[in-house]
A and B are shown apart, each in its own frame.
Chain A
Amino acid sequence: MQRALLAGILVGISASLLGSFIVVRKMSFIGAGIAHSSFAGVVIGFLVGMEPLLSALIFAAVVGLSIGLFSKKYRIEEESAVGVFFPFSMALGVLLLGFIKGYTPNVMGYLFGDILMVGKQEVALSILAFILTLIFFALFFREMVYSTFDEETCKVMGMKVNLVYYLFLFLTSFVIVVSIKIVGIILFSGLLVIPPLVSLFFSRDMKIYVILSAIVGLISTSFGLILSYYLNLPSGATIITFSFVLLVITALIKG
């Protein structure tokens, strides 16, 4: 439980930090798309005998960057690019699942999260994800704020807008993969989007908004995991339901 709690809190904070920009950049669908695409990665891992999290990371990162490239190069809306990669990756995952011989993986665990699957490796990965997210924010916070506000002018000023954007997508893919065993592929976008939405109700400044998102993410994952432990409920579903209730209460009070 302690292991799951530590890993959960760290990915909860990381996802909420990244999610704060996902929300104001109107990229929520991308988060869901990248998360779902990791399903094919997990299945490929089982099929070829590779660590599923590693293959999921490679696959999610490739899809994340492809969405970025696809929309920038062909001037297609990001939403449409996600609309292509999201179902394709799920379809590929389902098709490949049939080819796995012998031991069938715990598919439900990957889709909806299962803290019993959280081991030392997941804790180490969640610490890494957390540190990388903090470094990214320390280095590129201004660049992220400015390019979210007005990307074109940032390019005119010579800002490395695309580099920061692709790093952001890559990091999001990484945090998604690390979170898979805690909240699951399908539920992950809730962790990415709900805490920032709660925070938006209270924030009058970007710094406060991002920090508050992280705090709400921390509260959601820790309370969600504790509740799931004591009430014997599935971890991912409890975290997301808890944060949803938090959002509804906030909306009722502040809205």
Chain B
Amino acid sequence: MNILQIKDLWFSYDTEEVLENINFEVEEGSLIAILGPNGAGKTTLLKIILGLLMPQKGEVKVFGKPPWELREERRLIGYVPQNLSPNRKMPIKVKSIVMMGKYRGLLKLSGLEDRQVARETLEMVGMEGTEEKLFNHLSGGQRQRVLIARALVSKPKLLILDEPETGLDPSFQEGFYRMLTRIKKKLGTTIIIVSHDVMAVSQVVTKIACINRKLFAHGRPEEVLSGENLECLYGRGAAYFGHGPTPHIVVKKHDG
């Protein structure tokens, strides 16, 4: 079954075309990476999937419904936004942020059980014992982990991450991708991750969608990551080598 279906999707900000004729679907239980250079429209695509933006043309279905018509199903989506920058002076504790992921609606307060789940989720991302700490006292990587915990705490059916590697310390980064695979297996969560890190991501995902305004390629990593597609994604001069089990990208030196 497809958790996400996108057909003939077009989106523009005023007169600037950002996404053109995008078509792809995401099967339940898969882990898909959306790759592309800066300004390719990846975040815009995620915002359409999340129901935050309305496309001018085309069809988008999440759990079989247009995202802006989702009601209860919204609770089945976990989201890790890119570059979240709340007011640094806001005195908010880590536990409050994780509990935010357990929000069920007006006046529906969380119980003790929820707090236990929040603690376990923090443990899962290696942030145990930080419940009482202020979010703004954490390092960039630690904050990112708390936001990942917030997205995971509701045990989502669909997890959407917008460049979650930003700010993560290298030691956690490797474990992070393994964690995503574990979540997918354990909870059957479908995961969509927007990423810059082609190499790391291509080792764990089931499929890759290469986007640069248009959808250049969509398929298994070994099918998609050809020199031709990488050139579309990262410009002329990018070459790809299947060098052992780890793919590499080499970018040719530019003149001047």
Of the A-B pairs whose beta carbons lie under 8 Å apart in the complex, a sample of 25, sorted by A's number, is: A140-B106, A142-B103, A143-B106, A145-B96, A146-B100, A148-B90, A149-B86, A150-B81, A150-B84, A150-B86, A152-B81, A153-B100, A153-B150, A156-B51, A156-B79, A157-B74, A157-B75, A157-B103, A158-B74, A158-B75, A200-B89, A200-B91, A203-B91, A206-B90, A206-B96
- Contact across chains for B91 and A205 when beta carbons are under 8 A apart: yes
> Chain A interface (Cβ within 8 Å of chain B)?
23-26, 139-140, 142-143, 145-146, 148-150, 152-160, 200, 203-206, 208-209
Neighbouring A residues of B79 by C-beta, 8 Å: 153, 156
When chains A and B are docked, how far (Å) is the Cα of A208 from the Cα of B100? 18
A142 to chain B, nearest CB (A): 7
Closest A residue to B84 using CB positions:
A150
- Contact across chains for A24 and B87 when beta carbons are under 8 A apart: yes
> Chain B interface (Cβ within 8 Å of chain A)?
50-52, 70-71, 74-75, 77, 79, 81, 84, 86-87, 89-93, 96-97, 100, 103, 105-107, 134, 150
A215 to chain B, nearest CB (A): 16
- Contact across chains for B52 and A152 when beta carbons are under 8 A apart: yes
Closest A residue to B102 using CB positions:
A157
Top 3 closest A-B pairs, CB basis? A158-B74, A24-B90, A203-B91
- Contact across chains for B92 and A149 when beta carbons are under 8 A apart: yes
Q: A148-B90, A152-B52, A156-B74 are in contact. List 18 more A-B contacts (CB 8 A).
A: A23-B89, A24-B90, A149-B90, A149-B100, A150-B100, A152-B81, A153-B81, A153-B100, A156-B51, A156-B52, A156-B77, A157-B74, A158-B70, A158-B74, A158-B75, A160-B106, A200-B89, A206-B90
When chains A and B are docked, how far (Å) is the Cα of A26 from the Cα of B71? 31
> Assuming the A-B contacts A143-B106, A146-B100, A206-B96, are A158 and B87 also in contact, with contact meaning beta carbons closer than 8 angstroms in the complex?
no
B108 to chain A, nearest CB (A): 10
> Assuming the A-B contacts A149-B100, A155-B52, are A205 and B93 also in contact, with contact meaning beta carbons closer than 8 angstroms in the complex?
yes
> Assuming the A-B contacts A25-B87, A152-B81, are A145 and B75 also in contact, with contact meaning beta carbons closer than 8 angstroms in the complex?
no
When chains A and B are docked, how far (Å) is the Cα of A24 from the Cα of B86? 9
Number of A-B contacts (CB under 8 A): 69
Neighbouring A residues of B90 by C-beta, 8 Å: 24, 148-149, 206
A253 to chain B, nearest CB (A): 18
B86 to chain A, nearest CB (A): 5
> Assuming the A-B contacts A24-B87, A148-B86, A203-B91, are A158 and B81 also in contact, with contact meaning beta carbons closer than 8 angstroms in the complex?
no
- Contact across chains for B87 and A26 when beta carbons are under 8 A apart: yes
Neighbouring B residues of A209 by C-beta, 8 Å: 91
Neighbouring B residues of A145 by C-beta, 8 Å: 92, 96
Neighbouring A residues of B77 by C-beta, 8 Å: 156-157
Neighbouring A residues of B70 by C-beta, 8 Å: 158
When chains A and B are docked, how far (Å) is the Cα of A148 from the Cα of B103? 15
Neighbouring B residues of A203 by C-beta, 8 Å: 91
> Could you say which of A140, A153, A205, A208 has the most chain B C-beta atoms within 10 Å of its C-beta?
A153
When chains A and B are docked, how far (Å) is the Cα of A26 from the Cα of B87? 8
Neighbouring B residues of A150 by C-beta, 8 Å: 81, 84, 86, 100
Neighbouring A residues of B84 by C-beta, 8 Å: 150
A122 to chain B, nearest CB (A): 32
- Contact across chains for B86 and A158 when beta carbons are under 8 A apart: no
Neighbouring A residues of B150 by C-beta, 8 Å: 153
Closest B residue to A25 using CB positions:
B87
Closest B residue to A147 using CB positions:
B100
Neighbouring B residues of A142 by C-beta, 8 Å: 103
When chains A and B are docked, how far (Å) is the Cα of A140 from the Cα of B108? 11
> Could you say which of B71, B89, B97 has the most chain A C-beta atoms within 10 Å of its C-beta?
B89
Neighbouring A residues of B86 by C-beta, 8 Å: 148-150
A31 to chain B, nearest CB (A): 16
Neighbouring A residues of B97 by C-beta, 8 Å: 149
Neighbouring B residues of A200 by C-beta, 8 Å: 89, 91
> Assuming the A-B contacts A139-B106, A150-B81, are A206 and B100 also in contact, with contact meaning beta carbons closer than 8 angstroms in the complex?
no
> Assuming the A-B contacts A26-B87, A139-B106, A158-B74, are A204 and B134 also in contact, with contact meaning beta carbons closer than 8 angstroms in the complex?
yes
Neighbouring B residues of A24 by C-beta, 8 Å: 87, 89-90
